[in-house]
Chain A
Amino acid sequence: MSRNNNYHYLFNTMKINYLMIATGLLGFGLGCFGQVTPSAREVMERSRDQAKLSGLESKTTLEIFDGKGNKRVRETTMASRLFSDGTEKRVIVFLAPADVKGTGMLIFDYPDKPDDMWIYLPTLRKSRKIVSTEKGKSFMGSEFSNADLAVGGIDDFTYQFEGSEVMDGVDCWKIRMTPANATIAAEEGGTGRITWVAKKDYMPRRTEFLDKSGKVYKELIFGGIKLIDPKGGKYFVTHMEARNLKSGRYSIMNMDQVAFNPSVKEEYLTLSFLENQ
């Protein structure tokens, strides 16, 4: 009798981690800086360093369009909390479609070592410790890749100012990101990215991905930026689009509900909760 398991859920759903990391990363910026213009690396570094909220709850919808008018929808909910040692713990649960409902993930994002990550599959009835890699893979079949949505190491790229431009009515720094080594270049699959970061809030507005010939083949567009933590000067991206300019496919991610909550219950951030939710 066959006792093999369904691992396709595992493969699909492990990637939700990156989405939430990214929404965390991209959602935070500095309210303002002094008049001294930072370097390109400092701009990216400051955005990255500010990329963690003390606590957050959200509900997200991901719409995947195939360019032929067909649409697929996935929904998730997430709770995260930043602890005093710098560890951010997140729990993510799939809400839709119905065939993956109840699938959950628990991520411990450490400041100084690789993440710990578990996935709970209702069909297996137990959580599994999984590998947190595969950066280049499509996120849930969308145009977002795992790497698009991951924080990534600041040293993965070198950064260079390419001037200032107004993007969607906002004054931005235009920064070229070049892979720092062959490994990162291979993961990127191209020659790098150009990103526009708003001067007023250090939030990204757009990122273009360059293929090996230097042409733009994909773009990420960020919108719905809201001040979520007025005291801490934290902003949050509530709308993201990923557009594949070659295939015409695109995906839209909306944070339907977001709540800044530094007091997210610790019990949510445990394997017991993941397995019994």
Chain B
Amino acid sequence: MKTILIIALLLLTCQAYPQGVFESSLSGGSDSGNSRLSIGGYTRGAAFLGIIPEQDPYLQSLYAETSIKMKYNGGSWGGAFTDIRFYTGSEYNEKVHKMDLREAYADFNINRLGLRFGKQILSWGRADGFNPTDNLTPKNYFVRSSEPDDLKIGNILLRAQYQALDFLRLEVDLVPWYAPSLYRFDLIEMPAFVRINPVVQPGFAWDDGSIGAKADLIFGLVEGALSWYSGYDHLPALAPGAVTMSPTEGLDVGINQIPYRQQVFGADFATTLLGTGLRGEFAYKVPDTDSARPFKPNPEFQWVVSLDRGFGPLRLVAAYNGKWVKDFIPADAPGEFDPAILADPSIWPMLEGMFANQIGYYNRILFDQTHETSHTVLFRPSLQLFHESLEVEAAVIWNITTEEYLLYPKVTWKHGSGIQASMGYQHYAGPENTRFNWIKDAFNGPFIEFKASF
């Protein structure tokens, strides 16, 4: 904390340079343009109630959070940005107090070359709702927040952007360290003898880094990008861990979370047509061949097409997401283990193979590869009312193939001074052995959030 305050004081003492109206306004300075530091952020309180059938409602999450964002504008040469979050509350019956340096990076610009180094979040892909080319930084899939951006997690990396031509921008991202996405397997109902082990961290060798490259082509009528990523999928695959069978202590099955490397070849585009925004995104993912990590998804091709259009105060976003899994071998979901059979030591020698089969299917669920071809649609109508002070929206995601769906209505009231209140309801559902079925008990329920931005 002391370090943060010292940094803030140092930034505050930075002296000004002559600035125009535009630059001075962006710096957040006074009318005389005497400051290049701006400080903002928000404070919010939120409560998420859990609804599980045949159980009493419970508090999934109750917290207060303050975000302090500091931005230093160094003019043409660059600048710096920091987002620090202070959080206290409870999540899933555990008290949580934490300070998170969500982002902290510095920019350095040399003519057409822009360098950004530090902890940062990258978002690739032009499509709405689904972005298969967005693989550079991890996500927290179990964060409790009404803001989609809160899913994103920063990672330390170097980003270089070069404006080669007016219509061509090149980008290279070097990610020295692996950081996993967060997936709360502990919140998913599993047999008592199953233990999910922490993510196995790759080393810090050069070979354990990741790299991404992208070429953005910006033309008047249409724009798009070609991209390539070589590195770890931030969501680790599941692999069998140690299995111990003891007549006295019973059965203990470990499941390891092991990151695997992949290559992702991507493309996207955006255009406008007849008053409608039209976007698309395509990605071919190829996990690296690595005998040391046998549990990983098959190669897959994913495509997304999305539309958005306004009809007066109503805006509609619709997206279609398709996936084809290469080298797909059909498999039925393994049945649940019968405790009576597991208690019989004579079958224990066969259990490892059975568990491996089960974990393999868990991976299929985790990576949406239970079917050779799958189709998902998203609809999100939103309505602005009372001179845009009230927004009513409803998101629907429906996986036609697996029959999973999400219903997410939300109402947000905004006062012009940065005060807003939101309330909504998340409802995930799906058949057995689907991802939404896994997470439904961790998410389903109403929430309310008050937020003041400053």
Tell me the A residues contacting B by CB distance below 8 Å.
1-8, 11-12, 57-59, 64, 66, 71-74, 77-79, 91, 93, 95-99, 101, 108, 110, 113, 116, 122-126, 128-134, 136-138, 140-142, 249, 256-259, 261, 264-265, 267-268, 270-272, 276-277
Contact = CB atoms under 8 A, between A and B. Distances in A.
B382 A99 contact: no
Nearest to B137: A125
Given A64-B387, A74-B416, A97-B417, A257 B149 contact: no
A144 to B, nearest CB: 11
Interface of B: 20-22, 25-26, 28, 31, 40, 42, 76, 107, 114, 116, 121-126, 128-131, 141-142, 147-149, 151-152, 161, 163, 169, 216, 218, 220, 223, 270-272, 275-277, 308-310, 312-313, 315, 317, 378, 380, 382, 384, 387-389, 391, 393, 395, 397, 406, 408, 412, 414-418, 420, 426, 439, 443, 451, 453-454
Contacts of A79: 20, 22
Best-surrounded residue of B380, B414, B451 (most CB of chain A within 10 A):
B414
Nearest to B312: A137
A126 B123 contact: yes
A1 B220 contact: no
A197 B89 CA distance: 61
Nearest to B394: A4
Nearest to B319: A4
B112 to A, nearest CB: 9
Contact of B310 (A137, A249, A257, A271): A137
Nearest to B310: A134
B416 A72 contact: yes
B271 A124 contact: no
Contact of A267 (B76, B218, B406): B76
A7 B315 contact: yes
Nearest to B163: A272
B388 A125 contact: no
B26 A93 contact: yes
13 contacts: A3-B148, A3-B151, A4-B317, A7-B382, A57-B21, A79-B22, A97-B418, A125-B123, A130-B277, A131-B277, A131-B310, A132-B272, A256-B31
Nearest to B439: A1
Given A11-B382, A59-B22, A130-B272, 16 more contacts: A5-B128, A58-B22, A95-B25, A97-B417, A97-B418, A98-B418, A98-B453, A125-B149, A128-B277, A129-B271, A131-B310, A138-B388, A258-B21, A261-B20, A267-B76, A272-B161
Contact of A276 (B114, B130, B417): B114
Given A11-B315, A267-B76, A141 B114 contact: no
A213 B20 CA distance: 48
A116 B220 contact: yes
A58 B309 contact: no
A261 B35 CA distance: 21
A138 B387 contact: yes
Given A272-B114, A276-B114, A3 B169 contact: no
A126 B220 CA distance: 18
A142 B389 CA distance: 11
Contact of B309 (A2, A123, A131, A270): A131
Given A2-B148, A3-B148, A64-B387, A133 B418 contact: no
A5 B148 contact: yes
Contacts of B418: 96-99
B383 to A, nearest CB: 10
A97 B152 CA distance: 24
Contacts of B277: 128-131
Contact of A58 (B21, B141, B453): B21
Contacts of A249: 387
Contacts of A276: 107, 114, 116
Contact of A2 (B21, B408, B417): B408
Given A57-B20, A128-B277, A267-B76, A123 B148 contact: yes
Contacts of A136: 312
Given A59-B21, A129-B270, A130-B277, A7 B426 contact: no
Contact of B387 (A110, A129, A141): A141
